[in-house]
Chains A and B, each alone.
Chain A
Amino acid sequence: MSTRLANQGRLINTDKAVSFTFNGRHLRGFEGDTLASALLANDQMLVGRSFKYHRPRGVVASGAEEPNGLVNLGKGATFEPNQRVTTTEVFEGLTATSQNHWPSLEFDVGAINTHLSRFLPAGFYYKMFMYPRSFWKHVYEPIIRKSAGLGKAPKDRDQDTYEHFHAHVDVLIVGGGIAGLAAALAAGERGARVLLIEQTAHWGGRAVVDTPEIDGMPAQEWVNTTVQALESMKNVDLRLRCMGAGVYDHGYALAYERLTDHQPDADGPRHRLWRVRATQIVTATGAIERPLSFAANDLPGVLLASAVRDYVVNFGVSVGDRTVVVTNNDDAYRTAIALKKAGLDVPAIVDARSEVEGDLIDQARALGIRIELGKGIAKVKGGKRVTGVALCSQAGQGAVLEEIECDCVAMSGGWSPVVHLWSHCGGKLNWDADQAMFRPDPERAPTGADGEGFVITAGTANGHLFTAEAVSDGWAAGRAAAKAAGHNKRGGQAPMGLDAAEGPISPVWLMPQGASHALRSKAWLDFQNDVKVSDVQLAAQEGFESVEHAKRYTTLGMATDQGKLSNINGLAILSQSLSADIPNVGTTTFRPPYTPISMASIAGVARDALFQPIRKTPVSDWANANGADNEPVGQWRRPYAYLRPGEDVHQAVNREVKNARDNLGLLDASTLGKLIVKGPDAGRFLDMMYTNMMSTLPVGKCRYGLMCTENGFLMDDGVVARMSEDTWLCHTTTGGAERIHGHMEDWLQCEWWDWNVYVANVTEQYAQIAVVGPNARKVLRKLGGMDVSAEALPFMQWADGKIGEFDARVFRISFSGELSYEIAVPAGQGAAFWDALLEAGAEFGVMPYGTEALHIMRAEKGFIMIGDETDGTVIPQDLNLQWALSKKKEDYLGKRAHSRSHMADPNRWKLVGLLTEDGSVLPDGAYAIADGKNENGQGNTQGRVTSTYYSPTLEKGIAMGLVHNGPDRMGEVIEFNKVDGGTLRAKIVDPVFYDKEGEKQNV
């Protein structure tokens, strides 16, 4: 059984017990425990089920590489699935439940899959679910969806807060082991601004477990001394529980700091996402031990040798009473030695190598541990946990030589440097055959803006598995990084490490070498996704020779651990199956993040009201307090209609339209773009920007203008007013303000930079209110101030002055067809001006109206709307706007494009009005049906609806649409598709439905 040992464990505080629950069971651990160590201390070996076969799963590792120990953590507003038990620190009141099983962890119905496993090989889903075709939608997909996914998605809102932080440093060092610490020391001493981050809660990495000597001190003492020295440096920032998640272009890196996961009652954000810009990055990310592939290596109780050692040394937890160590290298002997020294039984070290020599072997022998050379594991015995191992000759096919009783197997297949961060932005790898590992090629580092490498790798991450090499490599990396960042101050000395002498590793990718198919189909590579040696071999046999294809076919390395344990072993099996060298097969691509980071940390503060900016006009507060039913227009929220008590939206819209036509309406038009264009060449410039002539517009007058892109399509429209000899004010659509401002600057800065024109976006300087309806003039006269008579201020003119006590610029323009004034006042006076209009307008029947009433009134008048009648494929000619295309101008944006053959084609669809025969409203976007079918067998079309409304004025549906030869087909009836499948007949008519002569607006 797994249990806590007395008086051991360097990281736990046995004076402080913490209680927590696992699947409802109350358990106790100590402060300093991880959830994994605390579960093991309570003999909770079984922690979950595998993804495909629902096999029992126990903890296999002790760090971020753990593939099995994934649990649901927390409840309600703190619930989170797929949390790794090895990286979760226990705290008082922690609640965890296991996942991926039903009805219980101990008894799981899905485990039937393991008995069907020979019918569920790699690629099973691809082969099985192809036929019959209709089964996919109705049978396969619903079932697969139900069983897909790991853990449950949270249901409640997350109660915690999250934030980002932008840090700019000379040197970012990822990894707080001895190499990272040495790098920080070297870079810090040179005066560089350093950020050193470590994903765990402790400095020192593996060295403090394996206890080599550095600078004549035990590793722990050296780590303490070094951290103290770093903390006293003002230019060095040290962060624990902060993981290097990704390395990106030009020294950008993401670091994921977990601030309160281990103390959930603490104040402040739970996670902080560091958005780092580093001149140089040192990846001292360590190495990960590889499992060995032998039959039933997935049973709970089979762990990495280093993990077994970690649990004893760090947490005083023995995974088993009797542990068999199986290895192909010397390092695993440390585990046997550590266990023996802790008073535990090690019945044998099973070493695949036939000859061994070194300090660790001598030590093991001296402790009386039996060493079996040239041997392998034929299979592990047991059901839900290990009960023993069967030994065989490594060179053979698995004939059992002997069985040994044990309750734990500690395996080591050698070490793989953590090259993820090195590789994220393009760092390349070399295969080191002597050490059987991929390691970074310093000649092919990720390159930065200067074309030089910006990532330096150090320590075991660089393939230096021994302390002396690792610590001096770290120091050299720190020094080089500081230098590359411009810090050359001399000083300090590289730390000196001392190692035990070790013999060479012998690569072992399968145990035994000639394992039968029966053994290979029980030899796991990917513990979470249930990929076995036989699956990868099958993939190779079926032609999935590219490592990227084999990965996707078998799902090897596609689990939440992204193959940290499985990839190299799987790759080696694949290369053997293909009779190719490992480096020729290559690795799959390493992609960020290193381990999953919370979605909330990516969002940071951007949630709820801060999810995105909501733009407000000076009238927005009044609107929101007075029934506004808002619609998003870009980041603005514009009232669609102002609802009165008891009204629905349609009733409100109809009331608003009628009232504006009969009495007096107010529209908050503040969101419309307002651009000042000024300079001696402003007229000439606007003549290029607009299709019509703006340079000839007299001062004091307004003109409606169209803008096209260079490829001829309509991009914006609006009223232009001439302010003075050299100044124009251009109104844009609400969505167009920033875009058209940028568009103008683009042409001024990049094409006509010798023209003297300045543009300023003054959109938000003004609140702009449209005062609309037969009573518009009356209300303005009542407020007093400037002369707004037809004589003093005729249609399509503007004037500055006072309306009441307000500084006003009044435009006689109309988008409704009614008598209309658009009045701009400084935004700071906007709310008061709105109030004044409401108050003075009361006797004239004033009502505010929203965007839907605006749309209906303009459609009744046949005015086009950018975004309704236009969609990026429509040219002015399509909308019968030839009158706005200047024939006098030699050039304007879009002019050349209008003579392209397709643009000049007489067969383009053109704007018409549409009236249904029964008065109903045409569906928005509906297509007009034409005879015959196209080459894809679809019905032909001859037009489409661009705007469609119920007109309260005409008391029936009205629509505008683009129809083939439309203007020549007045009176013809065509059919439109309805959403529910039927059709609707509509007559082609003039698009101006109301006051065609414009008598109402020009009074």
Chain B
Amino acid sequence: MTRLSLGRVLRLSLLSLGALIFLAPYLFMISTAGKAQSEIFSSSLALIPEQWSYVENFTKALSRVSMPTLLWNGVVVCALIFIVQVVVAIPCAYAMAKLKFRAARLMMVLVMLGLLVPIHATALPLYVAFDRLSVLNSYMALVAPFSISVFAIFLFLQFFRALPDDLIHAARLDGMSETGIVARVVVPNAWPAITAFAIFSVVAHWNDLFWPLVVVTNQEYATPPLGLLYFRAAEAGDDYGALMAATLIITLPLVAAFLIAQKRFVEGITMTGLKG
């Protein structure tokens, strides 16, 4: 049954060739992170280093910029953003979807408007305000503008509308308060939407360079992309070995998370991909 027809051979070769091209940057990253400077400059295409210099390059990468601090900042910022977004968006989406809420229509208009406005558009006034309040260079500054995610409200709203009303009526008859219903009935039923949003949110904010670049000038609060920028600046020459080692360290956490939970990742991106 799995006879290799000509069509299938052609298909597999095309896919494999494409895969090779897509993976090439990773292969060269891993390979170059282990090469000595002289070998890199000999510009050979060999992937396996002649002389293994992984230890040297990684030592250099770790000594220039504090990688643990960067990764820790990334984790703290992404976690804070995600938690606040969910805590703020879920009750609001619930009120709009399931309660007699007269402002629901108006809220929907605001949400749709909000979806149009990226951080790049609001960055200037927010920067001026944060500067006046002297809160630049802090986790607060990194997190606050993203505390409200209209996209989260939008996504949860779609999801909550599909929840059966009987479920909520039953909980009310049991004497549960509305906040109790949100916490103990709605949230447990909304896990697929919450996971999907978690992946969307973490990928977006782990990768974001624009806002951290605007509000952070102090290395202590640098997130991974910003830290890598500092590392590049400090690395004036073409020390690609150390540079690749640094990129490897910084890329690894999210890539590892993706490889472990790839099914969820793809589902999450598909579900949240409907943003627009």
Q: Do A and B bind each other?
A: no
